[in-house]
A and B are shown apart, each in its own frame.
Chain A
Amino acid sequence: MTKKIELAPENNKLCEKICSISGEVVTMCDQCGTCSASCPMAAEMDINPSEMMKMSQLGMEEVLETKAIWLCASCFTCVVRCPRGLDLSKVAEALRQIKLRQAEDHMDIKKLTIEELEGLPQIALISACRKFTG
Protein backbone atom coordinates (compact mmCIF):
# COMPACT_ATOMS: atom_id res chain seq x y z
CA MET A 1 0.00 0.00 0.00
CA THR A 2 1.26 3.43 -0.76
CA LYS A 3 1.15 6.12 1.82
CA LYS A 4 0.54 9.67 0.84
CA ILE A 5 2.68 12.24 2.60
CA GLU A 6 1.62 15.81 2.53
CA LEU A 7 4.69 18.01 2.13
CA ALA A 8 4.16 20.92 4.42
CA PRO A 9 6.50 22.22 7.08
CA GLU A 10 3.83 22.24 9.75
CA ASN A 11 3.30 18.51 9.30
CA ASN A 12 6.69 17.69 10.61
CA LYS A 13 8.63 19.03 13.55
CA LEU A 14 12.12 18.70 12.11
CA CYS A 15 11.08 20.13 8.77
CA GLU A 16 9.50 23.04 10.55
CA LYS A 17 12.63 23.65 12.58
CA ILE A 18 14.83 23.59 9.50
CA CYS A 19 12.53 26.08 7.81
CA SER A 20 12.50 28.42 10.76
CA ILE A 21 16.25 28.43 11.36
CA SER A 22 17.10 28.75 7.67
CA GLY A 23 14.27 31.02 6.65
CA GLU A 24 13.84 28.83 3.57
CA VAL A 25 10.68 26.94 2.67
CA VAL A 26 12.32 23.61 1.91
CA THR A 27 9.07 22.09 0.66
CA MET A 28 9.34 24.31 -2.39
CA CYS A 29 12.17 22.17 -3.75
CA ASP A 30 11.18 20.28 -6.92
CA GLN A 31 14.11 17.85 -6.80
CA CYS A 32 15.45 18.98 -10.17
CA GLY A 33 19.01 18.22 -9.04
CA THR A 34 20.66 21.43 -10.23
CA CYS A 35 22.31 21.87 -6.83
CA SER A 36 23.74 18.36 -6.86
CA ALA A 37 25.11 18.90 -10.35
CA SER A 38 26.71 22.20 -9.35
CA CYS A 39 28.12 21.33 -5.95
CA PRO A 40 31.92 21.07 -5.92
CA MET A 41 31.73 18.90 -2.81
CA ALA A 42 29.07 16.47 -4.07
CA ALA A 43 31.68 13.89 -5.02
CA GLU A 44 32.77 13.66 -1.39
CA MET A 45 29.31 13.69 0.12
CA ASP A 46 27.38 10.66 1.35
CA ILE A 47 24.11 12.18 0.18
CA ASN A 48 23.65 14.70 -2.61
CA PRO A 49 22.56 18.25 -1.84
CA SER A 50 19.18 17.55 -3.45
CA GLU A 51 18.81 14.51 -1.20
CA MET A 52 19.59 16.78 1.71
CA MET A 53 16.63 18.87 0.60
CA LYS A 54 14.38 15.85 0.21
CA MET A 55 15.27 14.48 3.63
CA SER A 56 14.66 17.90 5.12
CA GLN A 57 11.24 18.07 3.46
CA LEU A 58 10.38 14.74 4.99
CA GLY A 59 11.89 15.70 8.31
CA MET A 60 14.10 12.62 8.38
CA GLU A 61 16.31 12.74 11.48
CA GLU A 62 18.99 10.78 9.61
CA VAL A 63 19.89 13.88 7.65
CA LEU A 64 21.49 15.24 10.82
CA GLU A 65 23.91 12.32 10.88
CA THR A 66 25.15 12.73 7.32
CA LYS A 67 28.66 13.81 6.40
CA ALA A 68 27.26 16.03 3.71
CA ILE A 69 26.05 18.74 6.07
CA TRP A 70 29.63 19.24 7.27
CA LEU A 71 31.10 19.10 3.76
CA CYS A 72 29.00 21.95 2.43
CA ALA A 73 31.54 24.77 2.25
CA SER A 74 28.98 27.55 1.85
CA CYS A 75 30.37 28.33 -1.59
CA PHE A 76 26.89 29.41 -2.79
CA THR A 77 27.27 27.74 -6.19
CA CYS A 78 23.90 26.04 -5.81
CA VAL A 79 22.37 29.25 -4.49
CA VAL A 80 22.97 31.20 -7.69
CA ARG A 81 21.63 28.34 -9.81
CA CYS A 82 18.54 27.00 -8.03
CA PRO A 83 15.60 27.54 -10.40
CA ARG A 84 13.25 27.74 -7.41
CA GLY A 85 15.32 30.47 -5.83
CA LEU A 86 16.01 28.36 -2.78
CA ASP A 87 19.12 28.87 -0.66
CA LEU A 88 20.46 25.44 0.10
CA SER A 89 23.48 26.85 1.92
CA LYS A 90 21.06 28.17 4.53
CA VAL A 91 19.42 24.78 4.83
CA ALA A 92 22.79 23.12 5.39
CA GLU A 93 23.61 25.78 7.97
CA ALA A 94 20.32 25.09 9.75
CA LEU A 95 21.12 21.38 9.85
CA ARG A 96 24.57 22.09 11.28
CA GLN A 97 23.10 24.50 13.78
CA ILE A 98 20.57 21.94 14.97
CA LYS A 99 23.51 19.74 15.95
CA LEU A 100 25.66 22.55 17.30
CA ARG A 101 22.86 23.99 19.39
CA GLN A 102 22.61 20.66 21.17
CA ALA A 103 26.26 21.15 22.11
CA GLU A 104 27.39 18.51 19.64
CA ASP A 105 30.45 20.10 18.10
CA HIS A 106 31.77 18.76 14.83
CA MET A 107 35.37 19.75 15.45
CA ASP A 108 37.64 19.97 18.46
CA ILE A 109 40.16 22.71 17.88
CA LYS A 110 42.25 21.43 20.76
CA LYS A 111 42.90 18.30 18.73
CA LEU A 112 44.62 20.17 15.92
CA THR A 113 48.36 19.71 15.90
CA ILE A 114 50.69 22.55 16.75
CA GLU A 115 52.04 22.56 13.18
CA GLU A 116 48.56 22.84 11.74
CA LEU A 117 47.64 25.62 14.10
CA GLU A 118 50.81 27.50 13.31
CA GLY A 119 50.37 27.29 9.58
CA LEU A 120 46.69 28.09 9.22
CA PRO A 121 45.67 31.62 8.34
CA GLN A 122 43.33 33.31 10.84
CA ILE A 123 40.37 33.26 8.49
CA ALA A 124 40.58 29.48 8.16
CA LEU A 125 40.49 28.91 11.90
CA ILE A 126 37.84 31.51 12.57
CA SER A 127 35.48 30.30 9.86
CA ALA A 128 35.93 26.67 10.87
CA CYS A 129 35.10 27.60 14.47
CA ARG A 130 31.98 29.40 13.30
CA LYS A 131 30.83 26.49 11.17
CA PHE A 132 31.88 23.52 13.27
CA THR A 133 31.62 24.60 16.89
CA GLY A 134 28.67 25.87 18.81
Chain B
Amino acid sequence: MKETKSKKLDPEKVMERIAEASRPTVAGVEEKDVRHWVTIYVMGRGYSVPADLTILTAMEYAGYKFIRGCGCRQGFCGACSTVYRRHGEYKLQTGMACQTRVEDGMYLVQIPFSPAEKASYDISKEAYKVNTLLKHYPELARCVACNTCTKACTQDLQVMDYIQAAIRGDFETCVNESFDCIQCGMCALRCPAEIVQYNMAQLARRLYGRNDRPEPKHLTDRLKEIEQGKFVKPLDEITKKSKEELEKLYYSREKESD
Protein backbone atom coordinates (compact mmCIF):
# COMPACT_ATOMS: atom_id res chain seq x y z
CA MET B 1 0.00 0.00 0.00
CA LYS B 2 1.18 3.42 -0.90
CA GLU B 3 1.90 5.53 2.05
CA THR B 4 0.08 8.81 2.34
CA LYS B 5 1.16 11.63 4.47
CA SER B 6 -1.88 12.14 6.61
CA LYS B 7 -2.44 15.32 8.53
CA LYS B 8 -2.40 14.59 12.19
CA LEU B 9 -5.92 15.06 13.55
CA ASP B 10 -6.37 17.12 16.64
CA PRO B 11 -8.87 15.13 18.73
CA GLU B 12 -9.87 18.24 20.60
CA LYS B 13 -10.82 20.03 17.39
CA VAL B 14 -12.71 17.03 16.05
CA MET B 15 -14.82 16.84 19.16
CA GLU B 16 -15.54 20.53 18.93
CA ARG B 17 -16.69 20.16 15.36
CA ILE B 18 -18.98 17.31 16.27
CA ALA B 19 -20.43 19.25 19.16
CA GLU B 20 -20.98 22.22 16.87
CA ALA B 21 -22.73 20.06 14.30
CA SER B 22 -25.08 18.60 16.87
CA ARG B 23 -25.89 21.88 18.55
CA PRO B 24 -29.63 22.13 19.22
CA THR B 25 -31.30 23.57 16.19
CA VAL B 26 -34.62 23.65 17.92
CA ALA B 27 -35.48 27.20 18.73
CA GLY B 28 -35.90 27.96 22.37
CA VAL B 29 -34.55 24.74 23.85
CA GLU B 30 -31.69 25.31 26.21
CA GLU B 31 -30.13 22.32 27.86
CA LYS B 32 -30.25 23.86 31.31
CA ASP B 33 -34.03 24.34 31.09
CA VAL B 34 -34.77 20.74 30.25
CA ARG B 35 -35.90 18.67 33.23
CA HIS B 36 -36.82 15.39 31.57
CA TRP B 37 -34.69 13.51 29.13
CA VAL B 38 -35.33 10.38 27.11
CA THR B 39 -33.06 8.24 25.03
CA ILE B 40 -34.04 7.45 21.49
CA TYR B 41 -32.20 5.34 18.96
CA VAL B 42 -32.07 6.76 15.47
CA MET B 43 -30.88 4.13 13.02
CA GLY B 44 -29.26 2.33 15.89
CA ARG B 45 -27.49 5.24 17.52
CA GLY B 46 -28.62 6.50 20.90
CA TYR B 47 -29.34 10.17 21.61
CA SER B 48 -30.46 11.83 24.77
CA VAL B 49 -33.20 14.31 23.90
CA PRO B 50 -35.72 16.45 25.79
CA ALA B 51 -38.77 14.38 26.60
CA ASP B 52 -41.43 16.69 25.21
CA LEU B 53 -40.17 16.92 21.66
CA THR B 54 -41.69 15.32 18.63
CA ILE B 55 -39.60 12.84 16.72
CA LEU B 56 -38.89 15.48 14.13
CA THR B 57 -37.70 18.15 16.56
CA ALA B 58 -35.85 15.57 18.64
CA MET B 59 -33.91 14.47 15.62
CA GLU B 60 -33.09 18.05 14.81
CA TYR B 61 -32.03 18.50 18.40
CA ALA B 62 -29.74 15.54 17.95
CA GLY B 63 -28.17 17.19 14.94
CA TYR B 64 -30.07 15.85 11.94
CA LYS B 65 -31.01 18.29 9.22
CA PHE B 66 -33.98 17.58 7.01
CA ILE B 67 -33.62 18.25 3.35
CA ARG B 68 -36.27 15.70 2.49
CA GLY B 69 -38.71 13.91 4.71
CA CYS B 70 -40.14 17.07 6.20
CA GLY B 71 -42.63 19.59 4.95
CA CYS B 72 -45.56 21.19 6.66
CA ARG B 73 -44.65 20.25 10.24
CA GLN B 74 -48.36 20.18 10.89
CA GLY B 75 -49.25 16.58 10.09
CA PHE B 76 -50.79 17.32 6.71
CA CYS B 77 -48.22 16.88 4.01
CA GLY B 78 -47.30 13.26 4.64
CA ALA B 79 -43.58 13.79 4.16
CA CYS B 80 -42.21 12.83 7.56
CA SER B 81 -43.27 9.18 7.95
CA THR B 82 -41.41 7.29 10.61
CA VAL B 83 -41.39 3.69 11.71
CA TYR B 84 -40.47 2.81 15.24
CA ARG B 85 -40.61 0.15 17.87
CA ARG B 86 -41.08 0.88 21.53
CA HIS B 87 -38.69 -0.69 23.94
CA GLY B 88 -39.89 -4.14 24.93
CA GLU B 89 -42.56 -4.40 22.21
CA TYR B 90 -42.56 -6.48 19.06
CA LYS B 91 -45.12 -4.39 17.20
CA LEU B 92 -43.90 -2.09 14.51
CA GLN B 93 -45.44 1.36 14.89
CA THR B 94 -45.83 4.07 12.33
CA GLY B 95 -46.39 7.76 12.71
CA MET B 96 -45.70 11.20 11.37
CA ALA B 97 -42.46 12.43 12.91
CA CYS B 98 -43.85 15.94 13.28
CA GLN B 99 -46.84 14.66 15.27
CA THR B 100 -45.43 11.85 17.37
CA ARG B 101 -43.84 12.51 20.73
CA VAL B 102 -40.55 10.74 21.52
CA GLU B 103 -40.62 8.00 24.12
CA ASP B 104 -37.81 6.55 26.14
CA GLY B 105 -36.12 3.63 24.44
CA MET B 106 -37.75 4.19 21.06
CA TYR B 107 -35.96 2.75 18.03
CA LEU B 108 -36.76 4.62 14.88
CA VAL B 109 -35.96 5.51 11.33
CA GLN B 110 -37.39 7.99 8.87
CA ILE B 111 -39.03 6.75 5.70
CA PRO B 112 -39.13 9.89 3.60
CA PHE B 113 -40.35 8.29 0.42
CA SER B 114 -42.24 5.26 -0.78
CA PRO B 115 -41.32 4.24 -4.31
CA ALA B 116 -44.49 3.75 -6.33
CA GLU B 117 -45.84 4.07 -9.78
CA LYS B 118 -48.86 6.16 -10.44
CA ALA B 119 -51.31 5.36 -13.19
CA SER B 120 -51.59 8.02 -15.85
CA TYR B 121 -54.99 8.82 -17.20
CA ASP B 122 -57.01 11.60 -18.71
CA ILE B 123 -59.64 12.13 -16.09
CA SER B 124 -62.01 13.77 -18.53
CA LYS B 125 -61.97 10.70 -20.76
CA GLU B 126 -61.69 7.98 -18.15
CA ALA B 127 -64.62 5.58 -17.94
CA TYR B 128 -66.45 5.48 -14.64
CA LYS B 129 -67.17 1.79 -14.32
CA VAL B 130 -66.96 -0.87 -11.65
CA ASN B 131 -63.73 -2.18 -13.16
CA THR B 132 -61.98 1.13 -13.77
CA LEU B 133 -59.87 1.01 -10.63
CA LEU B 134 -58.81 -2.58 -11.27
CA LYS B 135 -57.96 -1.62 -14.80
CA HIS B 136 -55.39 0.92 -13.65
CA TYR B 137 -54.32 -0.91 -10.52
CA PRO B 138 -54.79 -4.63 -11.28
CA GLU B 139 -52.57 -5.52 -8.32
CA LEU B 140 -55.60 -4.70 -6.18
CA ALA B 141 -56.64 -8.24 -6.98
CA ARG B 142 -53.73 -9.48 -4.87
CA CYS B 143 -55.12 -8.15 -1.59
CA VAL B 144 -55.28 -10.93 0.99
CA ALA B 145 -57.39 -8.97 3.47
CA CYS B 146 -54.64 -9.19 6.06
CA ASN B 147 -55.46 -5.67 7.30
CA THR B 148 -51.78 -4.80 7.62
CA CYS B 149 -52.41 -1.53 5.80
CA THR B 150 -54.98 -0.49 8.38
CA LYS B 151 -52.57 -1.33 11.16
CA ALA B 152 -49.87 0.71 9.43
CA CYS B 153 -51.94 3.76 8.60
CA THR B 154 -50.62 6.86 10.32
CA GLN B 155 -54.05 8.48 10.05
CA ASP B 156 -56.01 5.56 11.55
CA LEU B 157 -57.94 5.04 8.34
CA GLN B 158 -59.67 1.77 7.54
CA VAL B 159 -57.35 1.22 4.61
CA MET B 160 -58.29 -2.39 3.98
CA ASP B 161 -61.92 -1.39 3.78
CA TYR B 162 -61.24 1.15 1.07
CA ILE B 163 -59.14 -1.36 -0.86
CA GLN B 164 -61.89 -3.96 -0.60
CA ALA B 165 -64.45 -1.41 -1.73
CA ALA B 166 -62.24 -0.54 -4.69
CA ILE B 167 -62.03 -4.19 -5.75
CA ARG B 168 -65.77 -4.37 -6.06
CA GLY B 169 -66.12 -0.99 -7.69
CA ASP B 170 -67.80 0.64 -4.70
CA PHE B 171 -66.53 4.18 -5.30
CA GLU B 172 -68.51 5.83 -2.56
CA THR B 173 -67.08 3.71 0.26
CA CYS B 174 -63.61 3.89 -1.21
CA VAL B 175 -63.78 7.68 -1.35
CA ASN B 176 -65.27 8.19 2.09
CA GLU B 177 -62.87 5.82 3.79
CA SER B 178 -59.79 7.25 2.08
CA PHE B 179 -60.73 10.91 2.28
CA ASP B 180 -58.28 11.81 5.06
CA CYS B 181 -55.31 10.03 3.47
CA ILE B 182 -52.18 12.19 3.47
CA GLN B 183 -50.30 9.87 1.14
CA CYS B 184 -47.53 9.13 3.58
CA GLY B 185 -47.03 5.75 1.97
CA MET B 186 -46.75 3.59 5.07
CA CYS B 187 -49.58 1.26 4.02
CA ALA B 188 -47.95 0.59 0.68
CA LEU B 189 -44.62 -0.22 2.25
CA ARG B 190 -46.13 -2.80 4.56
CA CYS B 191 -48.62 -4.41 2.16
CA PRO B 192 -47.68 -8.02 1.36
CA ALA B 193 -49.59 -7.70 -1.89
CA GLU B 194 -47.51 -4.69 -2.92
CA ILE B 195 -50.53 -2.51 -3.55
CA VAL B 196 -50.14 1.27 -3.68
CA GLN B 197 -53.24 2.14 -1.74
CA TYR B 198 -52.99 5.91 -1.73
CA ASN B 199 -52.44 6.41 -5.45
CA MET B 200 -55.34 4.15 -6.26
CA ALA B 201 -57.56 5.99 -3.80
CA GLN B 202 -56.66 9.28 -5.38
CA LEU B 203 -57.91 8.02 -8.71
CA ALA B 204 -61.08 6.82 -7.02
CA ARG B 205 -61.68 10.24 -5.48
CA ARG B 206 -61.02 12.03 -8.74
CA LEU B 207 -63.38 9.79 -10.67
CA TYR B 208 -66.04 10.00 -8.02
CA GLY B 209 -65.73 13.73 -7.76
CA ARG B 210 -66.04 14.12 -11.47
CA ASN B 211 -68.84 11.68 -12.09
CA ASP B 212 -70.83 11.24 -8.96
CA ARG B 213 -70.90 14.62 -7.28
CA PRO B 214 -72.88 17.67 -8.28
CA GLU B 215 -70.72 20.43 -9.70
CA PRO B 216 -69.83 22.72 -6.79
CA LYS B 217 -71.42 26.09 -7.46
CA HIS B 218 -69.00 28.14 -5.38
CA LEU B 219 -66.09 26.72 -7.34
CA THR B 220 -67.63 27.51 -10.70
CA ASP B 221 -68.43 31.01 -9.49
CA ARG B 222 -64.96 31.56 -8.17
CA LEU B 223 -63.36 30.34 -11.38
CA LYS B 224 -65.49 32.81 -13.29
CA GLU B 225 -64.35 35.62 -11.00
CA ILE B 226 -60.74 34.67 -11.52
CA GLU B 227 -61.20 34.66 -15.27
CA GLN B 228 -62.80 38.08 -15.09
CA GLY B 229 -59.68 39.35 -13.34
CA LYS B 230 -61.31 40.15 -10.02
CA PHE B 231 -58.22 39.19 -8.05
CA VAL B 232 -55.49 40.73 -10.14
CA LYS B 233 -55.38 43.98 -8.25
CA PRO B 234 -55.57 42.57 -4.68
CA LEU B 235 -52.85 40.08 -5.53
CA ASP B 236 -50.65 42.84 -6.84
CA GLU B 237 -51.14 44.76 -3.63
CA ILE B 238 -50.33 41.78 -1.46
CA THR B 239 -47.07 40.98 -3.19
CA LYS B 240 -45.87 44.50 -2.47
CA LYS B 241 -46.47 44.28 1.28
CA SER B 242 -43.76 43.93 3.90
CA LYS B 243 -43.33 40.81 6.03
CA GLU B 244 -44.89 42.48 9.06
CA GLU B 245 -47.89 43.63 7.10
CA LEU B 246 -48.30 40.18 5.64
CA GLU B 247 -48.17 38.56 9.06
CA LYS B 248 -50.81 40.95 10.33
CA LEU B 249 -52.99 40.17 7.35
CA TYR B 250 -52.51 36.45 7.81
CA TYR B 251 -53.53 36.39 11.44
CA SER B 252 -56.56 38.60 10.90
CA ARG B 253 -57.78 36.63 7.90
CA GLU B 254 -61.33 35.44 7.63
CA LYS B 255 -61.51 31.80 8.63
CA GLU B 256 -63.90 29.23 7.32
CA SER B 257 -66.09 27.95 10.10
CA ASP B 258 -65.78 24.24 10.89
Given contacts A118-B129, A122-B167, contact A129 B135 (CB under 8 A): no
User: Contact: B141 with A126, CB < 8 Å?
Assistant: yes
User: Contact: A109 with B131, CB < 8 Å?
Assistant: no
Please classify the interface of chain B as helix (H, G, I), strand (E, B), loop, or mixed, using the class held by over half of its residues. helix
User: Contact: A125 with B135, CB < 8 Å?
Assistant: no
Contact of A117 among B134, B142, B168 (CB under 8 A): B134
Please classify the interface of chain A as helix (H, G, I), strand (E, B), loop, or mixed, using the class held by over half of its residues. helix
Q: Which residue, A110, A114, A125, has most C-beta atoms of chain B within 10 A?
A: A125
Nearest neighbor of B117 in chain A, beta-carbon distance: A110
Count of chain B residues near A, Cβ 8 A: 12
Docked pose: A117 CA to B133 CA in angstroms: 10
Distance between A116 CB and nearest chain B CB, rounded to angstroms: 9
User: Contact: B131 with A129, CB < 8 Å?
Assistant: no
Nearest neighbor of A113 in chain B, beta-carbon distance: B135
User: Contact: A125 with B129, CB < 8 Å?
Assistant: no
Distance between B132 CB and nearest chain A CB, rounded to angstroms: 8
Nearest neighbor of B194 in chain A, beta-carbon distance: A133
Contact of A125 among B127, B132, B134 (CB under 8 A): B134
Contact of A118 among B131, B139, B141, B167 (CB under 8 A): B131
Nearest neighbor of A130 in chain B, beta-carbon distance: B142
User: Contact: B141 with A129, CB < 8 Å?
Assistant: yes
For B134, list chain A residues within 8 Å (CB): 117, 122, 125
Given contacts A117-B131, A118-B129, A118-B131, contact A110 B138 (CB under 8 A): yes
Interface residues of A in 93-134 (CB under 8 A from B): 109-110, 112, 114, 117-118, 120, 122, 125-126, 128-130, 133
Contact of A122 among B132, B141, B142 (CB under 8 A): B141
Nearest neighbor of B168 in chain A, beta-carbon distance: A122
Distance between A118 CB and nearest chain B CB, rounded to angstroms: 5
Residues of A bordering B, CB below 8 Å = 109-110, 112, 114, 117-118, 120, 122, 125-126, 128-130, 133
* Nearest 5 A/B pairs, CB to CB: A125-B141, A109-B138, A126-B141, A129-B142, A117-B135
Would you list 9 pairs from A and B whose C-beta atoms are within 8 A, ordered by A residue? A109-B138, A110-B138, A117-B131, A117-B135, A118-B127, A122-B168, A125-B141, A126-B167, A129-B138
